Amino acid sequence: MKFAFVIHPTSLDDVVRYEPGAVGKGRPLIEKIMEWMPAYAAAHVTGVRTPDGRETEGWFVGATFLPEQMLALPRERVYQKILEAIRIGADLGAEIVGLGAFTGVVGDAGITLAERSPIPVTTGNSLTIAAGVKSLLRGAREMEVDLPRATAVVIGATGSIGSACVELIAPHVEHIVMVARNLTRLQRLLAELADRVPCSLSIETDVRAAVPRGGLVLTATTSTQELIEPADLQTGAVVCELSLPHDVGQRVAIERPDVLVTEGGNMRVPGNVRFERVREPGREFNNAFAPGTALACMSETMVLALENRRAHYTLGRGIDLAKVREIETLATRAGFELADMRAFDKPITAETIAAARAAAQKRRATSAERKRAAV
């Protein structure tokens, strides 16, 4: 069975990557063009092959709005372009469609779109959650974080991805600070989870107040601005970034060599996956992934196609943890695994991690020395 996946540029860099002809055009012009541009089939994805010989192929179909436009334009107009993209995928032969980045966030996170779609829909959030938590815990191991005594900060905790991440991180740590802007929703989440999870929980609406409290930080927000200030991070902190567009900027990489930032939602795809531009066959579609990898939400859609699942899967903001576990099992069986660590468009090597650990040790020693001198 074949799949489609709706993509959209999450930054101006993405616009140029998808359409090199956009180089040099200013943001206002790009926004105007995108406002009126119809959805289009951007990439043909081939070569997905499981170790037991199952294969699938599919298409990335562009619903050309930037994140800010997805949030600001009338909802119906955004839905119309996403539905147009879905129909293009269905006409190409896809029997399931995934909703990438903000196309799975707008409105009720896929429910209305699923009602109006000619083919089954998933946001891909279940596998994103599984991959994100695994990735955070891998980073913690690499940075030798004492997990049972650690505090984790989950930014975007009331969201579809964030709330499920809180539940899955909870058995591993001592405390979780749940962060979002809306206090009422945070209070409701706290009341819902307090007796259900094994660690203690607190809530915070100010990202800058929350970040210094945790040695582990996971971000899954719909902010269109960078949220994390380098100075706020604990020495040796591990940051797992799931947000698209990112919440963590290059400044963290430059100013905080002692911190490990990792993009949590990347998976290695089994087989020999290729992304080819539909308009220029033979030319690679540049999506900024490491070779052989795709986002976890794309991977979820591929796994469902490989399983011949002709039914909606992840929809809405209340994530079913049973589905997170199921899709993780199905993905592993199909040969998908967590991709090597990566951040800021670069691989994270063993040397990078060793350097971050050493920088953290040095920073701790310096701060201990300063404290002794001050006494």
* Residues at the site binding ligand NAP, with contacts judged by CB under 6 A: 101-102, 104-105, 109, 124-125, 128, 155-162, 179-182, 185, 207, 220-223, 227, 242-244, 265, 295-297, 317
Q: Which is nearer to ligand NAP, 334 or 360 (CB)?
A: 334
Q: 245: cis peptide before it, omega within 30°? A: yes
Element (H, E) at 208: helix 207-210
Output 34 or 297, the one with its CB closest to ligand NAP. 297
- Least Cα distance to 145 among 207, 218, 201, 196 occurs for 218
The phi-psi region of residue 308 (left if phi > 0; otherwise alpha if psi is between -120 and 50; otherwise beta) is left
- In the complex with ligand NAP, which residue's Cβ is closer, 64 or 221? 221
Q: How far is the CB of 197 from ligand NAP (least distance, A)?
A: 17
Nearest residue to ligand NAP by CB is 159
Q: Whose Cβ is closer to ligand NAP: residue 103's or residue 151's?
A: 103
Kindly state the smallest distance separating residue 181's Cβ from ligand NAP, in Å: 3
- Comparing CB distances to ligand NAP, the nearer of 109 and 305 is 109
CB of 326 to ligand NAP, least distance (A): 17
Angle at 6 between CA 46 and CA 270, to 5 degrees: 30
Rounded to a whole number of angstroms, the minimum distance from the CB of residue 101 to ligand NAP is 4
Q: How far is the CB of 123 from ligand NAP (least distance, A)?
A: 6
Within 13 Å of residue 243, how many CA atoms lie on the same side as its CB? 27
Cβ distance to ligand NAP smaller for residue 124 or 270: 124
Structure token digits, residue 66: 């930037």
Cβ closer to ligand NAP: 50 or 123?
A: 123
Q: Which two tokens stand for residue 28?
A: 């206002």
Q: Which two tokens stand for residue 350?
A: 């063993």
Instruction: Quote the DSSP letter at residue 32.
Output: H
Of the two residues 332 and 366, which places its CB atom closer to ligand NAP in the complex?
Answer: 332
Instruction: Give the shortest CB-21-to-ligand NAP separation in angstroms.
Output: 25
Give me the least distance between CB of 184 and ligand NAP, in Å please: 9
State the Cα–Cα distance between residues 173 and 177, nearest whole angstrom.
11
Nearest to 204 by CA among 155, 149, 162, 246: 155
Least Å distance, CB 107 to ligand NAP, is 10
Task: Map 222-250 to HEC letters.
Answer: CCCCCCCCHHHCCCCCEEEECCCCCCCCH
DSSP secondary structure of 61-101: EE----HHHHHHS-HHHHHHHHHHHHHHHHHTTEEEEEE-G
121, 114 contact by CB (below 8 A): yes
